[in-house]
Amino acid sequence: MKNRIQRFKSFFKISPIMLASIFFFVVVQTQAQEFDILIKNGHVFDPKNNIDSIMDVSIADGKILQVAPDISAENAKKVVDATGLYVSPGLIDIHTHVFVGSKSDKFADGNNSLSPDDFSFKAGITTVVDAGTSGWRNFPLFKSQVIDESKTRILAFLNIVGTGMTGDDGQHNLDEMDAVKTAEMIQEYADYIVGVKIGHFDGESWTPFDRALEAGSKTNRPLFVECHLPQYTLEDQLDRMRPGDIITHSFENIKERAPVVDKQGQVLQVVLAAKEKGILFDVGHGGSGFWFNQAVPAFEQNFWPNSFGTDMHKFSVNRGMKDMLNLMSKFLNMGMPLKEVLLRGSWNPAKSIKREDLGNLSVGAVADIAVLSVKKGKFGFVDARDNRIDGDRKLEAELTIRAGKVAWDLNGISAKKFE
DSSP H or E stretch at residue 239: helix 234-240
Report the alpha-carbon angle 343-348-349, nearest 5: 120
CA pair distance 223, 353, nearest whole angstrom: 10
**Distance in Å, CB of 143 to Zn ion, minimum:** 19
**Distance in Å, CB of 97 to Zn ion, minimum:** 6
DSSP assignments along 250-314, one per residue: TB--STTS--SB-TTSPBPHHHHHHHHHT-EEB---TTTSB-HHHHHHHHHTT---SB----BST
Nearer to Zn ion, 86 or 107 (CB): 107
**Distance in Å, CB of 248 to Zn ion, minimum:** 7
Q: Give the residues lining the site for Zn ion (CB under 5 A).
A: 131, 311
Which candidate, 251, 122, 257, places its Cα nearest to that of 200?
257
**Distance in Å, CB of 286 to Zn ion, minimum:** 6
Sheet holding 91-96, edge to edge: 91-96, 125-135, 153-159, 193-200, 223-228, 246-247, 280-281
Residue number of the CB closest to Zn ion reads: 311
Nearer to Zn ion, 151 or 228 (CB): 228
**Distance in Å, CB of 194 to Zn ion, minimum:** 15
Nearer to Zn ion, 88 or 326 (CB): 326
Compute the residue count for the chain: 419
Nearer to Zn ion, 109 or 311 (CB): 311
Nearer to Zn ion, 214 or 311 (CB): 311
Nearer to Zn ion, 107 or 121 (CB): 107
**Distance in Å, CB of 112 to Zn ion, minimum:** 10
Nearer to Zn ion, 245 or 311 (CB): 311
Work out the number of other CB atoms within 10 angstroms of the CB of residue 361: 27
Q: Are 82 and 413 in contact (CB under 8 A)?
A: yes
**Distance in Å, CB of 80 to Zn ion, minimum:** 35
- Which residues, 6+ apart, have CB-to-CB distance to 352 below 8 Å? 94, 222, 244, 246, 280, 282, 306, 307
